[in-house]
Amino acid sequence: MANQRWNLVLCALLWFTTVAWAEPYVSADGRFSADLSSSTVCSTSQSESPVGAVVTTVYLDRQPGRFLTVSYTDLPKLALLAGRDRIFDEARDGMLQQCSGSQSSWQRLDSQTRRLLYTSPGHRGETIFRLEKFRLYVIDVRSELAVEPQMDAQFLRSFKIISPPAASAPAPKEP
């Protein structure tokens, strides 16, 4: 009887620990959730572009053998006049330059989504670019070659937009 109670307590403890650990990281400002750890660091940067200032927010989670990143950029409306393909191409080129990477594959998944596979010294990487209204999400995983690729795929699948972004939409004017 005592063994059954301990088994039940142990099972309950394992279940609650697993449930708590499995909760995704949620960014209310970023309007997304993803499997990032609680040690994720957030940073923001601003750069100038021909169509105005562009602000990018980056969530970086450094794990043993891998870097998990979710970033988003609120694009000025004028940026969309150049076309989606140009936005995606410039984001891809920036990603490859940043990590000294070499493109292995570039795919159009749908009108709003592109997928990049790349290699960089000692690493393999995969990036999903997702354009939602005026916001560009970049979900990236860069792993040492010894890390199991299934872990990378699991992280990319974990990304969810939790509410429709209204980024860069004009703010309501106060009367």
**What are the pLDDT digits (tens) for 15-67?**
333 333 447 899 988 999 999 999 999 999 998 877 778 899 999 999 999 99
CATH code of the domain in which 70 resides: 3.40.1000.10
Average pLDDT, whole number, for the chain? 83
Examine residue 36 and state whether it is found in any structural domain, yes or no.
Answer: yes
pLDDT (mean) for 162-169? 57
Q: How far is CA 69 from the centre of its chain?
A: 5
143, pLDDT greater than 70: yes
The amino acid at residue 170 is P
User: What's the predicted TM-score (pTM) here?
Assistant: 0.79
Residue 43 in domain: yes
Please state the domain count of the chain: 1
CA distances for 74 relative to 42, 55, 65, 109, angstroms: 16, 6, 30, 21
| pLDDT of residue 82 exceeding 50 | yes
Residue 13, in any domain of the structure = no
Measuring CA to CA, which residue among 83, 80, 137, 141 is closest to residue 114?
137
Domain holding 146, by residue range, is 24-161
* Alpha-carbon distance values, 114 to 27, 101, 107 (Å): 22, 17, 6
